Structure 1
C-alpha cells in the first residue's frame, strides 16, 4: 500500500508513529490551544459558555449511546438494567451532595450487581 495509512510502512516503529500522528497530535494541539488561551478568557463569556455546552452535550451523547445502543459485553446487560443504573447514578449524584465518584459507584453497583444477582453475568 502507499500513502500515510497504517499499513503503508512495514517498519516496527511505524505503528507508534502512526498513532502519534493520527491520534495524539491532533488531540493535543487543541488541548494546548485551550491551555494557552484559558488564562485570557473570561469565565462568564459567551464563548466559554458555548464550549461548556458543547462539551457537556458530547458527554451526554456518549452516555446515551452506551446506554441505548451499546457494543461488546455491555449488550449482554438488558436495557432496563442499563437505564436503572443511569437513573440510580443520576439520583445519587443529586441526593448525595453532587459527588461524581459516589454517583459512579452507585451506578456501577446496579449495572454489575443486578445482572450478577440474576445470573446474567
Structure 2
C-alpha cells in the first residue's frame, strides 16, 4: 500500500515540477493563454447549462424557474462583488436551497 502511494506521488510530482519549470517562460497575456481561458470558460458554461437544463438526482426536484433564478442570483452577486467566484456560487446555492425549502421539496 505504501509503495503504491509513493509511486503515485512520484509520478504526479514529476509533472508538477516540470510544469513549474516550464511556466516561468510563459507569457500570461499571449494569444495561447487567451484561447485556453476562453475554452475553459466555454466548458464551465456548458457544464452549468447541462446541470441547469437537464439535472439528475436531487437537483432534478427543483423546478426549472428556481434553477434559472439561482443562476441569475449567482451571476448578479458575482458581478456586483468585483467578480468574487466564491460569493457568486454561495449566492446561487443559498437561492436554490432557500427556494427548495420554501417549496417543501
If the length of structure 2 is used for normalisation, what is the TM-score? 0.78
Match of 2:86 in 1: 101
After the TM superposition, list the runs of 4 or more consecutive aligned residues in structure 1 that deviate by more than 6 angstroms.
Answer: none
Counterparts of 1:56 and 1:102, CA distance in 2: 18
Asked which structure has the greater RCO (Cα within 8 Å, sep 6+), the reply is 2
Q: Structure 2 residue aligned with 1:80, among 47, 53, 65?
A: 65
For structure 2, the 5+ residue unaligned runs are none
Relative to structure 1, the CA distance from residue 69 to residue 37 in structure 2 (aligned partners, 3 Å threshold; closer, same or farther) is farther
Alignment CA distance shift 1:84-1:34 (3 Å): farther
RMSD: 2.3
- Greater share of helix residues, 1 or 2? 2
2:19 and 2:36 map into 1 onto residues whose CA distance is 11
Pairs within 5 Å for 1:1-121: 32=16, 34-120=19-105
**Distance in 2 between residues matched to 1:34 and 1:70, nearest whole Å:** 36
Q: TM-score, normalised by structure 1?
A: 0.69
Q: Deviations over 1:21-71 (max 9, x none)?
A: xxxx7xx69x74654432211111111111111111111111111111111
